[in-house]
Amino acid sequence: MKDLAGRVAFITGGGSGLGLGMARAFIEQGIAVAIADIMPDHLASARVALGETGRCHFIQLDVTNRAAFARAADEAEALLGPVSILCNNAGVGMLGSTQTTGYVDWDWVMSVNLGGVINGIQTFLPRMRARGEGHIVNTSSIGGILPGPGGVAYLTAKAAVLGLSEAMLCDVRGEGIGVTVILLGPTASNIHKVAKQRPKLYSDSGLAAFEVEFGEKPIIAGGMDPLEGGRQVLKAIERDQLYLFTHPEFRHAVQQRFSAIMTAFGPDTGEPAATESHGFPTFNPLFAEIIANSGKN
């Protein structure tokens, strides 16, 4: 998407961390921003941080509430104009192993970190399609492609956001709508304050005491400045870039993961590449296009 100045963006989880960094970067480029966040204190601090630097509107929003999401979209577009850029960024950073994560934990994390993304898409994609243009940014995590122990629900949701983003782009190609998925590395944020975000509906958790302790200090020491992350997102939108890895130091680990996956096919026999299997194509032209365009941006 080119010519971003004068457009309107809607950012969930926009009151702090990467969401606020995106807002600041967008405003620098003349983009009006609707900042949605469930936490009133995050919205208040965002107001102070952004001041009168550009056209902003602040909305308290629980992204799991579909009716509220629709009302927030109507409010933002009535005040700022049609939303061209949607950033599905809201998330909760709950930690817990497979052994300690219970139903209430799964339900909460999936409803926000995956359900919130789905709700954003369902709310704004029809509007973008009607106008014939738009760009949707979904915040995943480097953990969604490089999982580790101790955060099973969070990592599952982030992996799902990656798959959702890839599948969605396959569906909307040719409709003037771009998709970017952020494989976010360590970034300064309030993600560790998970205890303050857990609703009463999901309070019966064996992780609650740990979350209170966890929220006392940031989990990430010296993470990336969110404004830098926001500027990277801005460039990805301009370049119509599907994958955004914010931290290049994970390059070799990602390559190792894909190499490990490829071992499951066994040795390469040197046979010609199959183009179809049982009526299904074995190649997706989307990936060929990404590779071909990688040196042009």
Mean pLDDT (whole number) for 37-52: 92
Minimum mean pLDDT among 78-87, 132-141, 231-240, 275-284: which range? Answer: 275-284
Q: Look at residue 200 in the predicted model and tell me its pLDDT.
A: 80
| Tokens linked to 267 | 């040795």
Mean pLDDT (whole number) for 86-98: 92
The residue type found at 50 is L
Give the domain extent around 102.
8-269
Does the structure show a pLDDT above 90 at 208?
no
Q: Is residue 1 part of a domain?
A: no
Instruction: Please tell me which residue, 148 or 95, carries the higher pLDDT value.
Output: 148
| Tokens linked to 76 | 């933002």
Q: Is residue 291 part of a domain?
A: no
Mean pLDDT (whole number) for 177-203: 81
Cα(82)–Cα(135) distance, integer angstroms? 12
Q: Look at residue 133 in the predicted model and tell me its pLDDT.
A: 97
Q: Is residue 100 part of a domain?
A: yes
Query: What CATH number corresponds to the domain at position 138?
Result: 3.40.50.720
Q: Look at residue 93 in the predicted model and tell me its pLDDT.
A: 83
Does the structure show a pLDDT above 70 at 270?
yes
Does the structure show a pLDDT above 70 at 224?
yes
Instruction: Please answer whether residues 31 and 4 qualify as being in contact, where contact means their C-beta atoms are separated by less than 8 angstroms.
Output: yes
Q: Look at residue 87 in the predicted model and tell me its pLDDT.
A: 98
Instruction: Please answer whether residues 211 and 94 qualify as being in contact, where contact means their C-beta atoms are separated by less than 8 angstroms.
Output: yes
Does the structure show a pLDDT above 70 at 216?
no
Q: Look at residue 95 in the predicted model and tell me its pLDDT.
A: 86
What residues have CB less than 8 Å from 79, skipping those under 6 apart? 34, 57
Does the structure show a pLDDT above 70 at 28?
yes
Q: Is residue 221 part of a domain?
A: yes
Residue written as token pair 């060929």: 288
Q: How confident is the model at residue 31 (pLDDT cuts 50, 70, 90)?
A: very high
Q: Annotated catalytic, 243?
A: no
Q: Is residue 297 part of a domain?
A: no
Spot the catalytic one: 103, 154, 202, 243: 154
Mean pLDDT (whole number) for 159-188: 96
| Average pLDDT across the chain, whole number | 92
By percentage, how much of the chain surpasses pLDDT 70? 92
Q: Is residue 91 part of a domain?
A: yes
Q: Is residue 89 part of a domain?
A: yes
Q: Is residue 2 part of a domain?
A: no
How many domains are there within the chain? 1
